[in-house]
């Protein structure tokens, strides 16, 4: 390891891009690392820039905001003020005695090892920084339902990403189901791409972002956005079915149909089942943050209005860990505009803490914008909660953990017969969340089931054991071995285990 | 220029810039591996590199995420059995002892 950067930013989505540009402009030397091959994160996911066509931009919001940030990134990188490393994932972060952070990175795919490498450089594996801004974003929140592991069932964000990033509609006849406003752009995006969208299946009662006046007033543009989606749904003749859930995904080897039913306010079925023939099911229950990196460093967490575990930060995006700042979805799911504002604010805070004070008026304005956007996000979360009784939808054979193929029956048995009360014990005995994805997909569900079986509301103690991972991503053993050579294997293991706990 | 990839003896076309998963799906192929325990078919799920459902062997390198790998001309997809050389549920320590091309998960 050679150079210690002033600040490392992990993630080049809305939050990380804004943070990296802002920090570099404030005079800091910046390292920016991102899994994806090009910047933009989830919100500005776009077709490979080299092969892009003008029509790829259709359906993209705030695109000029992105292109401005990208231009600044290119310029600052050319000036050597940002070192941008795309196609790489951070899998472990540790801290030395002087407080500097060490980041271990690995190529995201077998073909991305050369991305961002200057000619003659070896592929970087170990990088260092005095301060850290984590902007790792999040992913679709999922609830298991019978048949949800059939090919043809995608996350709503996944269907969107395939369309925006790869121009590929994932099927021909679709339902988009779950809860939240994000179902609407997914449905209309698919329809625009020629997919017949049979219905949007919304578990909650209302499309009303306007129902919660505090939130709607906090984000005036959003009411207009809702109306635009409503108009687009009408134009494409997509039925919007509220208080309805998918009871089962049917098919032999791939999706052929879904069974849907009306539900009450808690998500308990009230009406008869109805079958809809489809070859694509896009499921989304909002988003949940990626927390493995902040948890690895021991950052304090809190539970957000939507029930997700988030990193607790102050009004400058500082976490409870000295030198560690967090921005974007990881501090609470609230959309791209909020992520950009938080990214900027975090960079100004790092700069100030490292002796480059920012214009106080600017910081004040950003803080006010963040507070407003948070109020709006909270109103949205209250409008589109997870149905309280969702575990009632599960059958004995429904897979909760897709990776380890753990059915609901195994979790019930671990609870009833083996006395697993909490999520951690449930995970140890029945092994959900122990496979490739390390509980990213089933973590929330497992925490929810632990609470449900125990007759309590899901809390931080249920969520945290499922969100903690000793490695942020699976890594080739060669890289682990290299780590073991520097430390001793025992230390390396201890490090992973302790930090990951 | 269209890329041509092969998957189990079938030629799959890809537009430059598409991922391996997108090319397979555009060709009507929705699953490309089976699970270790139940032999269940799996393909794309999260689409963004998080779920690892979409694992595939690319030019002989196992366990690549089809949603992240960019399609390239002449690519051979899916020869070895993905995940076959990894202990299911292996933790840091177990995986640390197996060596070779393995992958450690926590
Ligand atoms: C699949 C998906 C699709 C979405 N589509 C839309 C949409 O169309 N419209 C909309 O309004 N909202 C969408 N969202 C919501 C969207 O995530 C937020 O609005 C916004 O992108 C949040 O910005 P962010 O910067 O916090 O995170 P993100 O945009 O998620 O960016 C985080 C970045 O960090 C990188 N990263 C994560 N972990 C690591 C690591 N260990 N090492 C290196 N890099 C890492 C990721 O690859 C990603 O590029 C989508 C979300 C998902 C999950
Ligand atoms: S589809 Fe989830 S990792 Fe590729």
Token look-up 């122990």 returns A434
CA B51 from centroid of its chain's CA atoms: 12
Over the range A117-148, which residues count as b (16 or more CB within 10 Å of their CB) and which as e?
Answer: eeeeeebbbebbbbbbbbbbbbbbbbbbbbbb
pLDDT of residue B105: 54
Q: pLDDT tens digits for A435-452?
A: 899 999 999 999 999 999
How far apart are the C-alpha atoms of A107 and B64, rounded to whole Å?
A: 11
- Nearest residue on chain B to A282, alpha-carbon basis: B45
Residue A488 binned pLDDT confidence (cut-offs 50, 70, 90): very low
**A142 contacts A155 by C-beta, under 8 angstroms:** yes
DSSP letter for each residue of A226-273: HHHHHHHHHHTT--EE-SEEEEEEE-SSS--EEEEEEB-TTS-B-S--
Using DSSP's 3-state secondary structure scheme, residue A272 falls into coil
In this structure, the strands spanning A399-401 and A406-407 are: antiparallel
How far apart are the C-alpha atoms of A137 and A134, rounded to whole Å?
A: 9
Using DSSP's 3-state secondary structure scheme, residue A429 falls into helix
Instruction: Tell me which residue of A65, A28, A39 sits closest to A341, measured CA to CA.
Output: A65
pLDDT of residue A109: 83
What residues of chain A lie within 8 A of the CB of B103, using their CB? Answer: 474-477
Using DSSP's 3-state secondary structure scheme, residue A422 falls into coil
> Residue A108 CA: which ligand is closest?
1
Q: pLDDT tens digits for B65-103?
A: 999 999 999 999 987 554 444 433 333 333 332 333 445
pLDDT of residue A40: 94
**A261 contacts A245 by C-beta, under 8 angstroms:** yes
How far apart are the C-alpha atoms of B9 and B29, rounded to whole Å?
A: 13
- Percent of the residues in chain A that have a pLDDT greater than 70, as a whole number: 89
Which pair of tokens denotes residue A317?
């995006």
Environment class of A196 (CB within 10 Å of its CB; exposed 0-12, middle 13-18, buried 19+):
middle
pLDDT of residue A121: 60
What residues pair up with A127 in beta bridges, in sequence order? Answer: A103
Which pair of tokens denotes residue A235?
């134009």
Option in B45, B89, B102 nearest A477 (CB): B102
Please report the atom of ligand 1 found closest to the CA of residue A17: 25
Lowest mean pLDDT among A155-159, A272-276, A468-472: A468-472
Domains of chain A and CATH, by start: 4-139+288-358 (3.50.50.60), 143-284 (3.50.50.60), 394-474 (1.10.10)
Instruction: Give the helix ranges, DSSP H, for B1-106.
Output: 20-26, 92-98
pLDDT of residue A471: 83
A416 C-alpha to center of ligand 1: Å?
38
How far apart are the C-alpha atoms of A43 and A57, rounded to whole Å?
A: 12
Task: Tell me what ipTM this predicted complex has.
Answer: 0.90
DSSP letter for each residue of A119-139: TTPPPP-EEEEEEEEE---EE
How far apart are the C-alpha atoms of A409 and A397, rounded to whole Å?
A: 6
Q: Count other C-beta atoms under 10 Å from residue A101's C-beta.
A: 22
Which pair of tokens denotes residue A194?
């020629």
- pTM of this prediction? 0.90
A346's enclosing H/E stretch is helix A336-353
pLDDT of residue B48: 95
DSSP letter for each residue of A178-224: ESSTTHHHHHHHHHHTT-EEEEEEESSS---GGGSHHHHHH-HHHHH
Instruction: Tell me which residue of A430, A426, A427 sits closest to A454, measured CA to CA.
Output: A426
8 Å CB contact of A110 and B95:
no
C-alpha torsion angle, residues A365, A371, A373, A375 (rounded to 10): -150
A320 C-alpha to center of ligand 1: Å?
23
- Does A472 contact ligand 1 (Cβ within 6 A)? yes
Q: pLDDT tens digits for A363-409?
A: 999 999 999 999 989 988 998 999 999 999 999 999 999 999 999 99
Q: pLDDT tens digits for A346-367?
A: 999 999 999 999 889 999 999 9
Instruction: Tell me which residue of A157, A39, A24 sits closest to A87, measured CA to CA.
Output: A39
What residues of chain A lie within 8 A of the CB of B93, using their CB? Answer: 493
């Amino acid at each position: 390891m050679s150079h210690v950067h002033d600040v490392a930013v992990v993630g080049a989505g809305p939050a990380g891009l804004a943070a990296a540009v802002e920090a570099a402009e404030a005079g800091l030397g910046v390292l920016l690392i991102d899994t994806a091959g090009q910047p933009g994160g989830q919100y500005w996911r776009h077709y490979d820039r080299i092969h892009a066509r003008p029509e790829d931009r259709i359906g993209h919001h705030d695109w000029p905001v992105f292109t401005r940030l990208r231009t600044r990134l290119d310029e600052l990188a050319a000036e050597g003020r940002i070192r941008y490393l795309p196609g790489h994932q951070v899998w472990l972060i540790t801290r030395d005695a002087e407080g500097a952070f060490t980041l271990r990175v690995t190529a995201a795919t077998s073909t991305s090892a050369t991305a961002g490498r200057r000619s003659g450089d070896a592929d970087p594996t170990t990088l260092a920084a005095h301060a850290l801004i984590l902007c790792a974003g999040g992913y679709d929140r999922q609830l298991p339902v019978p048949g949800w592991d059939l090919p043809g069932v995608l996350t709503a964000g996944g269907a969107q990403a395939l369309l925006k990033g790869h121009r590929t509609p994932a099927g021909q006849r679709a339902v988009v189901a779950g809860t939240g406003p994000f179902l609407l752009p997914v449905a209309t995006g698919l329809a625009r791409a020629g997919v017949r969208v049979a219905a949007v299946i919304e578990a909650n009662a209302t499309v009303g972002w306007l129902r919660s006046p505090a939130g709607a007033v906090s984000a005036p543009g959003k009411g207009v956005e809702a109306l635009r989606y409503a108009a687009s749904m009408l134009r494409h003749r997509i039925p919007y079915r509220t208080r309805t859930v998918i009871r089962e995904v049917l098919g032999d080897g791939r999706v052929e149909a879904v069974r849907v039913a009306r539900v009450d306010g808690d998500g308990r079925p009230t009406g008869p089942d109805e079958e809809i023939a489809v070859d694509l099911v896009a499921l989304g229950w909002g988003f949940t943050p990626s927390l493995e990196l902040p948890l690895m460093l021991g950052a304090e967490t809190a539970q957000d209005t939507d029930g997700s575990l988030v990193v607790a930060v102050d009004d400058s995006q500082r976490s409870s860990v000295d030198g560690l700042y967090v921005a974007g979805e990881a501090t609470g799911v609230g959309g791209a505009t909020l992520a950009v504002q938080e990214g900027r604010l975090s960079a100004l805070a790092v700069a100030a803490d490292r002796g480059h004070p920012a214009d106080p008026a600017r910081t004040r304005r950003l803080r006010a914008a963040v507070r407003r956007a948070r109020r709006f996000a909270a109103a949205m979360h209250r409008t589109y909660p997870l149905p309280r009784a969702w575990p009632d939808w599960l059958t004995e054979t429904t897979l909760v953990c897709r990776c380890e193929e753990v059915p609901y029956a195994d979790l019930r048995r671990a609870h009833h017969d083996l006395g697993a009360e909490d999520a951690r014990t449930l995970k140890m005995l029945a092994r959900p969340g122990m496979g490739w994805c390390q509980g990213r997909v089933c973590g929330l569900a497992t925490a929810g089931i632990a609470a449900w079986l125990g007759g309590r509301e899901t809390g931080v103690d249920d969520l945290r054991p499922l969100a903690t991972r000793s490695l942020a991503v699976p890594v080739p053993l060669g890289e682990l071995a290299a780590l073991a050579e520097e430390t001793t294997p025992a230390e390396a293991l201890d490090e992973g285990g302790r930090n990951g706990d | 220029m269209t890329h041509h990839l092969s998957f189990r003896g079938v030629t799959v076309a890809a537009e430059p810039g598409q991922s391996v998963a997108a090319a397979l799906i555009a060709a009507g192929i929705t699953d490309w591996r089976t699970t270790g325990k139940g032999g269940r078919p799996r393909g794309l799920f999260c689409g963004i590199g998080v779920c690892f459902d979409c694992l595939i062997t690319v030019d002989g390198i196992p366990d690549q995420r089809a949603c992240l790998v960019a399609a390239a001309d002449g690519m051979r997809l899916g020869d070895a059995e993905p995940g076959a050389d990894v202990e299911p549920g292996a933790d840091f320590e177990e995986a640390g002892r197996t060596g070779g091309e393995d992958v450690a998960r926590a």
